[in-house]
């Protein structure tokens, strides 16, 4: 029954038409930002979209919040088609994008928030009460009457986040809510997100992130998205469980000669090697088919006159899941993406 899903998409796709660019001939004129997205998010879920920059997360949020038309497939939010039934969807949702400074700088924090409460039909008195509560929760009480132009970007972002929660949405979309926030503020936001979803089983929250820890520790379920496609979708525990067979090792080594990941990639049983050079030493991360493969790795290191400074076995993370799915880390993927299809 589709009515039970807060968010549902089928074969959802989005293509951006790029304007002609005379300087870069031979570039494609269309960019596939999303393709074949099938998602089902249950009421009450805190759902995460995890992927590197350019993966298509914001595009998906824009479609789900009625701002952007899909190019193919369909999406429903709270049971309504986001493209055809915008008028029914909008009262039930809200959206916040992180890492930007939006808002009316000439209004105070309280005025900004009050104004949006009016657009959602809230009674002024009730709105003020809730606004003040939320300002206290986010530690903004003493800034309530500050013009929002005079706030730091971090505090402005908190104001924006309050704007999202304030209107009591059934489905809330947060696009990289902690982007640009310091560690403490990020923790506050995550804590609030978790409490908000636990408070009322009718609420649903979808957030995007490119922070592994955020997806791992916060979300009930995570969809890993890259280059417009969902590669895996499950609870963080289940996603990591897939890698239970594998053995993951971090090695700090010091080498006389140049080390290259390629030296290890050909060894049987090595799924993935990542080499990060530091001053005077290097870090190697291995995802191995099983622990026994480690001896082959150590042999290769010895043959190359490499001294092992430290060796640790660790539990799989979502980063490892991403690496096994894509073949490279999120950071590498972002670099490759920005070289390939221009940002």
Partner 1 sequence: MNLRSFRTAAWLGWKIESNWTDPFLFAVYSIIKPLAGAAILVVMYSVITKGDFAAPLFPYIYLGNAFYMYVGAVMTGVSWAIIDDREHYRTLKYMYVAPIRIPLYLIGRAVARFLTGSFSVLITIVFGALFLHVPIEAAQVDWLLFSVSLLMGVVLLALMGLTLAGVTLLLARHSDYLGDAVAGGLYLFSGAVFPLDVLPAWLRPIGYAMPITYWLELLRRSLVGSVAQAFPTLANLSNGQLLAILGGMIALAAVVAVITFRWCDHQARERGYIDRTTNY
Residues that bind ligand ADP (CB under 6 A): 16, 18, 31, 33, 51, 53-59, 341, 343
Q: Given the complex with partner 1, which of 107 and 267 has the nearer CB atom?
A: 107
27: helix, strand or coil: coil
Distances (CA, A) of 266 to 180, 270, 272, 273: 40, 7, 10, 10
CB of 102 to ligand ADP, least distance (A): 16
Q: What CA–CA distance (Å, rounded) separates 205 from 218?
A: 11
Q: Which does 68 bind (CB under 5 to 8 A by kind): partner 1, ligand ADP, Mg ion, none?
A: partner 1
In SS3 terms, 261-308 reads as: CHHHHCCCCEEEEEEEECCCCEEEEEEECCCCHHHHHHHHHHHCCEEE
17: helix, strand or coil: strand
Give the interface with Mg ion as residue ranges (CB under 5 A).
58
Q: Is 145 in the site for partner 1 (CB under 8 A)?
A: no
Q: Which does 329 bind (CB under 5 to 8 A by kind): partner 1, ligand ADP, Mg ion, none?
A: none
Q: Given the complex with partner 1, which of 208 and 324 has the nearer CB atom?
A: 208
**Of all residues in the chain, what percent are helix, strand and coil, respectively (each to 5)?**
35, 30, 35
Torsion of CA 245, 217, 320, 100, to 10 degrees: 160
Number of shown-chain residues binding partner 1 (CB under 8 A): 31
* Cβ atoms of residues 95 and 160 within 8 Å: no
Q: Which does 54 bind (CB under 5 to 8 A by kind): Mg ion, partner 1, ligand ADP, none?
A: ligand ADP
Q: Given the complex with partner 1, which of 166 and 247 has the nearer CB atom?
A: 166
Instruction: State which of positions 95-124 bind partner 1 (CB under 8 A).
Output: 95, 97, 100-107, 111, 115-116, 118-121
CB of 18 to ligand ADP, least distance (A): 6
Q: Is 16 in the site for partner 1 (CB under 8 A)?
A: yes
- DSSP β-ladder status, 46-50 and 221-226: parallel
204: helix, strand or coil: strand
Q: Which does 177 bind (CB under 5 to 8 A by kind): partner 1, ligand ADP, Mg ion, none?
A: none
Segment interacting with partner 1 (CB under 8 A) among 4-12, 86-94, 132-140, 246-254: 86-94
Which residues in this chain contact partner 1 in the complex, by CB under 8 A?
Answer: 16-17, 62, 65-69, 87, 90-91, 93-95, 97, 100-107, 111, 115-116, 118-121, 163
């Amino acid at each position: 029954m589709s009515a039970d899903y807060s968010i549902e998409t089928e074969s959802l796709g989005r293509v951006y038409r790029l304007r002609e660019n005379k300087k870069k001939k031979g570039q494609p004129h269309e960019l596939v930002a999303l393709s074949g997205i099938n998602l089902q998010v249950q009421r009450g879920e805190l759902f995460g979209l995890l992927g590197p920059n350019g993966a298509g997360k914001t595009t998906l949020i824009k479609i789900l919040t009625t701002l952007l038309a899909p190019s193919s497939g369909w999406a429903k939010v709270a049971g309504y088609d986001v493209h055809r039934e915008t008028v029914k969807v909008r009262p039930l949702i809200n959206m916040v994008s992180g890492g930007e400074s939006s808002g009316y700088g000439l209004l105070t924090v309280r005025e900004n928030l009050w104004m949006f409460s009016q657009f959602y039909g809230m009674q002024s008195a009730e709105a003020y009460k809730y606004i003040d509560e939320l300002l206290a929760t986010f530690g903004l009480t003493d800034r309530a009457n500050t013009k929002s132009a005079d706030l730091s970007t971090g505090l402005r972002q908190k104001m924006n986040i309050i704007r999202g929660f304030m209107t009591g949405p059934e489905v809330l979309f947060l696009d990289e809510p902690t982007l640009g926030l310091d560690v403490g503020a990020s923790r506050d936001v995550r804590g609030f997100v978790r409490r908000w979803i636990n408070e009322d089983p009718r609420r649903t929250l979808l957030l995007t992130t490119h922070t592994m820890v955020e997806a791992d520790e916060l979300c009930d379920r995570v969809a890993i998205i890259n280059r417009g496609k969902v590669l895996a979708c499950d609870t963080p525990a289940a996603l990591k469980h897939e890698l239970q067979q594998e053995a993951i090792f971090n090695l700090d080594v010091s080498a006389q000669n140049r080390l290259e990941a390629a030296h290890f990639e050909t060894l049987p049983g090595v799924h993935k090697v990542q080499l990060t050079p530091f001053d005077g030493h290097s870090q190697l991360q291995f995802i191995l088919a099983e622990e026994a493969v480690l001896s082959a790795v150590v042999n290769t290191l010895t043959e190359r006159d490499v001294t092992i400074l430290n060796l640790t076995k660790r539990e799989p993370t979502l980063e490892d899941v991403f690496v096994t799915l894509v073949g490279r880390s999120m950071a590498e993927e972002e670099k490759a993406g920005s070289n390939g299809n221009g940002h």
